[in-house]
Amino acid sequence: MPVKNRFAELHGDITAWRRDIHENPEILFETHRTSALVAEKLRAFGCDEVVEGIGRTGVVGVIRGRSTASGRTIGLRADMDALPITEATGLDYASKMPGAMHACGHDGHTAMLLGAARYLAETRNFDGTVAVIFQPAEEGGGGGREMCRDGMMERLGIEEVYGMHNWPGVPVGQFAIRPGPFFAATDIFDIEIEGKGGHAAKPHETVDTTVAAAQIVGALQSIASRNADPVAQLVVSVTSFQTSSNAYNVIPQRVHLKGTVRTLSPEMRDLAETRMKAICTSVAEAFGATAEVSYTRNYPVMVNSDEQTTFAAEVARAVSGQCADAELVMGGEDFAFMLEERPGAYILVGNGDTASVHHPEYNFNDEAIPAGCSWWAEIVERRLPAA
């Protein structure tokens, strides 16, 4: 695999950084140790500027090329946060933090971007400026949104932005990408169903919320099967069913449902919210109960820009010899917020035959490091070619 020789030399160092971060996972915006480590290394690499506290605990390193005559700035983004999962890998560098682990490979993303930053600061073989972006709270906290709200794009003059994620099932060091919608919008909902509780032996004296809620759960599946265009992507999942009583002989007064909706277009997003509210209200009413729906729009659809996607794939082929067409992903990714502000692209790098992300036995594959670092570096050197 034709990767840059410098990353073969740095492989041991980058692996050590990755495993240190893996051993000390931090969740959401609480990436204080990781952020401090990143800032310390960026300064040691000789970055021209290191900005801390963007998006609460985000860090950005600024590296200027040998020339900046182009006046252009490219952003490269990695996520830093871990997940609230108990690790089950048995590794000697497994998480030391109870109930937290890097189960999605953000430790690897951060280490690879640090490796690329070191190389770019050493060589500066480009005309323009690079902003290496280290983001907290990708796993549900919207750290990308917060960094954008803090004015990161305008403050640093970022014109394009590129992201990367490891992907189990793709051969190690190979790549996959697709233009247009790539990762789904991730909305969440809460449904409160109110009835009339009572003794389970006298159901006729109650308004049974469990029966109403069960019917609502089933009816919500008709949004995808009967309201949405069959060729559109739409997922409605009820993930929690909680009653106000745990007794065997009590019909509960209240039931709380919650779950997620995944869509790949604004039209499907609007449809899902509208139909959910109508179904919950009418079905509950049919059983003499009431239903209140709280629908929260979370991460938007992540959309790769056509030009930047073509370029990113060309770079991937230069690094690994190929770049596959990626499938649509119904998971969410808050790099979407950055792509709403600037054109750019998000690519997958192979993690090999490993446990899936968000699994307690998952681990980032360190053999992917040279390919990932080389892709970052080539993005810069080809997009901002030195005179």
Residue set of the binding site: 104, 106, 139, 165, 358
Give the burial string for 362-379 (b: 16+ CB within 10 Å, else e).
Answer: bbbbbebbbbbbbbbbbb
How many angstroms separate the CA atoms of 85 and 257, rounded? 23
- C-alpha to C-alpha distance for 351 and 276, rounded to whole angstroms: 37
> Which residues are within 8 A (CB) of 151 and not within 5 positions of it... i.e. 6 or more apart?
none
The angle subtended at Cα 307 by Cα 301 and Cα 310, nearest 5°, is 95
Residue 344 to residue 151: CA distance in whole angstroms? 17
Which helix (H) or strand (E) element contains residue 145? Answer: helix 143-149
| CA-to-CA separations, 377 to 46, 54, 114, 312, in angstroms, rounded | 16, 23, 11, 12
Residue 246 burial class via C-beta count within 10 angstroms: exposed 0-12, middle 13-18, buried 19 and up: exposed
Which parts are annotated binding residues for Mn(2+)?
Answer: 104, 106, 139, 165, 358
- Torsion sign over Cα 209, 214, 220, 222: negative
CA distances from 373 to 115, 168, 202, 340, 346 (A): 6, 18, 67, 25, 15
How many Cβ atoms from other residues are within 10 Å of residue 31's Cβ? 29
What is the DSSP pairing of strand 234-243 with strand 254-263?
antiparallel
